[in-house]
Amino acid sequence: MSTDLLLVGVDIVGYAVEIAVHLFRLITLNS
């Protein structure tokens, strides 16, 4: 497994977590 692929994977996971947190906040604020 190359280092570049690992870094891309980390970026994707971080981005997905950020989106999930924003969606969770929107849902909790609206309800």
Task: Give how many domains the chain has, as a whole number.
Answer: 1
SS3 1: coil
- Nearest alpha carbon to residue 17 among 7, 9, 6: 9
Is pTM, for the whole model, over 0.85? no
DSSP 6: H
Phi, psi of 15 (to 5 degrees): -65, -40
23, two tokens? 């969606």
Tell me, what's the pLDDT at 30? Answer: 86
pLDDT tens, residue by residue, 1-31: 689 999 999 999 999 999 999 999 999 998 7
Domain of 26, in residue numbers: 1-31
